[in-house]
Amino acid sequence: MSQLTPDAGPPPRRGRGRRPADQVRAEILAAAGKLLLAEGMAGFTIEKVAAQAGASRMTIYKWWPSKGALALDGYFTVVGPTLAFHDTGDVVADLTSQLVAFVHLMNDTPAGRVISQLIAQAQTDPDLAAGYRQRYSAPRRALAVEAINRAVARGQLRADIDPESVVDQLWGACYHRLLIPDQPLTEEFARTLVDNLMRGLR
């Protein structure tokens, strides 16, 4: 059950009584993550998670306050935080590589679909919104802001810039193309974003 193999044999049906709490919890989270990656938020239902984990719905309701909370927990148990900002001393290189990696994550892995649907769900689920900000977006923002501040300290960027706004103009622009795909989200786009800001438009 701990494996992610595609077959993923449904856990053998147990009898009635109690099973070790940690084991059940782990199986539920694994099932939630797997289901999320496989079907996205659309097909993500408490009933399916319970069925795939071989657990009862009651158990899930007892531990997670909302569907969103379960989805978020499930996502992190499968994907993990995946943070870390390389610092080579060159802001442009660091921002670009980080942004390009982000674009690839969104385009070439199921993470993109899941993230966009988590954000979608968060629009009507305050619990999920809070959890998402606290556990995902805020830490990532903080890392980017730190990197920018280091560059300011090194004199590579103006001292009077607002780092937060820069984050929105880099990652926010990518999220925009992820969520409203009028235009494609490409590696070239990511590089252009950094270039636009660095050189200015004039």
Partner DNA sequence: GGTTATATGGACACAGCGTACACAAGAGCT
Partner DNA sequence: AGCTCTTGTGTACGCTGTGTCCATATAACC
Residue 18 or 199 having the CB closest to a second copy: 199
Q: Which two tokens stand for residue 189?
A: 């786009």
78 touching DNA, by CB under 7 A: no
Per the CB < 8 A criterion, the answer to whether 187 and 104 are in contact is yes
Q: Considering only residues 6, 9, 12, 20, which one is a binding residue for DNA as defined by CB under 7 A?
A: 20
Among a second copy, DNA, none, partner that 123 touches (CB below 5 to 8 angstroms by kind): a second copy
Q: Considering only residues 13, 16, 18, 158, which one is a binding residue for a second copy as defined by CB under 8 A?
A: 158
Could you give the CA distance from residue 46 to residue 173 in angstroms, rounded to a whole number?
Answer: 33
Q: Which residue has the tokens 């499930």?
A: 74
CA distances from 149 to 57, 108, 137, 155, 159 (A): 47, 30, 18, 10, 9
112 touching DNA, by CB under 7 A: no
CA torsion through residues 140, 142, 145, 150, sign: negative
202 touching DNA, by CB under 7 A: no
Q: Segment near DNA (CB under 7 A), from 20-28, 103-111, 167-175, 190-198?
A: 20-28
Nearest to 68 by CA among 107, 6, 118: 118
Q: With CB under 8 A as the rule, give the number of residues binding a second copy.
A: 49
Binding site for a second copy (CB under 8 A): 40-42, 116-117, 119-124, 129, 132-133, 137-138, 141, 156-158, 161-162, 164-166, 168-169, 171-177, 179-183, 189, 192-193, 196-202
